[in-house]
């Protein structure tokens, strides 16, 4: 896998035997009578977590917000680590009386943690990162690092922070992304067509409540056959919105609060959503949503 493993390691002797090869989450290790277990950590990944700690060192109540994050630790998930919000995958293989375990960081989840600072580019060194959820931190600012395209992200959720700037180019490295939630930040620029055009498996795409502007390209969503939830609301998009009715998986669309000429299409799409979601309760829900939309329009 091209990972640098080895320097950070521990040797343990366990009491009871379990299996010869096992993948374990969150630091639970298989054990064997008299067996010596050596745990290897990817030092580049651990150093990247420490860079996050340095970048967020002005966060209030750091000792609880980032509980057990320790600049002197070499194992975030083992040896008493268990850094708050950090998830690891541990792959163990036994060879007779010896067992080698490799620990990889697969998730960082910190919601409403009052984080202060930015996201350093070295986060890209966590190449096995599958989930990044940093949400509800109004003092988390700066750009979204382009180095995230070096990771293995399937879930990127950074809603309701103060991140800003234009989105970096992700390219084909984000091809397996399932959730991209950038809503409630200060991202700007034109519709990020080149950034999201490589997301054929995306299910949730939320760009709402940012500072994007300009037209939404007609073919922006044509490859997103699994798209379930789309939020383009409260930006400065204008012009004609793409036809979304051919995305049969789509259940939720919010495109209000823009300068688009196609306000009626937003409402029409919501009617289509209602038919797809709650056909049996269509009449009552239809009246409610149409009235609600026109109230919102009047407020805007």
Note the pLDDT of residue 272: 59
Q: What is the pLDDT of residues 185-226, one digit of tens each?
A: 999 999 999 888 889 999 999 999 999 999 999 889 988 999
* Token pair 């919105």: residue: 241
CA distance 226 to 202: 6
CA distance 198 to 195: 7
Note the pLDDT of residue 14: 35
Note the pLDDT of residue 236: 92
CA distance 56 to 293: 40
Note the pLDDT of residue 276: 58
Name the DSSP letter for residue 293.
H
Note the pLDDT of residue 243: 76
What residues of the chain score a pLDDT lower than 70? 1-34, 79-81, 259-300
Report field, pTM of the whole predicted structure over 0.85:
no
Residues ≥6 apart with Cβ < 8 Å to 165: 142, 143, 144, 186, 187, 188
- DSSP letters along 245-277, please? TT-TT--EEE--SS--S-HHHHHHHHHHHHHHH
Which has the closest alpha carbon to 118: 96, 97, 144, 99?
A: 144
Which has the closest alpha carbon to 30: 106, 89, 95, 92?
A: 92
Note the pLDDT of residue 26: 39
């Amino acid at each position: 896998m091209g990972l640098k493993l080895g320097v950070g390691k521990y040797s343990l002797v366990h009491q009871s035997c379990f299996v010869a090869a096992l993948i374990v989450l969150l630091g639970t290790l298989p054990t064997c009578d008299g067996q010596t277990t050596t745990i290897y950590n990817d030092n580049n990944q651990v150093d990247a977590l420490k860079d996050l700690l340095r970048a967020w060192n002005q966060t209030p109540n750091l000792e609880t917000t980032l509980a057990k994050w320790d600049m002197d630790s070499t194992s975030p998930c083992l040896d008493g680590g268990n850094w708050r919000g950090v998830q690891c995958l541990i792959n163990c293989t036994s060879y007779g009386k010896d067992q080698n375990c490799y620990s990889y960081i697969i998730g960082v989840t910190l919601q409403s943690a009052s984080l202060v600072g930015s996201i350093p580019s070295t986060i890209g060194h966590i190449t096995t990162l599958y989930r990044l959820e940093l949400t509800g931190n109004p003092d988390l600012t700066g750009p979204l690092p382009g180095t995230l395209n070096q990771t293995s992200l399937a879930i990127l959720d950074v809603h309701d922070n103060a991140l800003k700037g234009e989105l970096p180019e992700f390219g084909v490295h984000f091809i397996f992304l399932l959730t991209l939630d950038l809503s409630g930040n200060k991202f700007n620029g034109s519709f990020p067509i080149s950034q999201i055009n490589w997301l054929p498996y995306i299910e949730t795409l939320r760009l709402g409540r940012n500072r994007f502007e300009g037209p939404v390209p007609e073919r922006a969503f044509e490859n997103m056959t699994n798209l379930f939830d789309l939020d383009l609301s409260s930006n400065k998009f204008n012009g004609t919105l793409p036809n979304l009715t051919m995305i049969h998986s789509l259940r939720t669309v919010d495109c209000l609060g823009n300068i688009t000429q196609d306000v009626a299409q937003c409402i029409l799409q919501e009617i289509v959503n209602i038919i797809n979601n709650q056909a049996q309760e269509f009449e009552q829900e239809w009246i409610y949503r149409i009235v609600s939309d026109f109230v919102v329009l009047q407020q805007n």
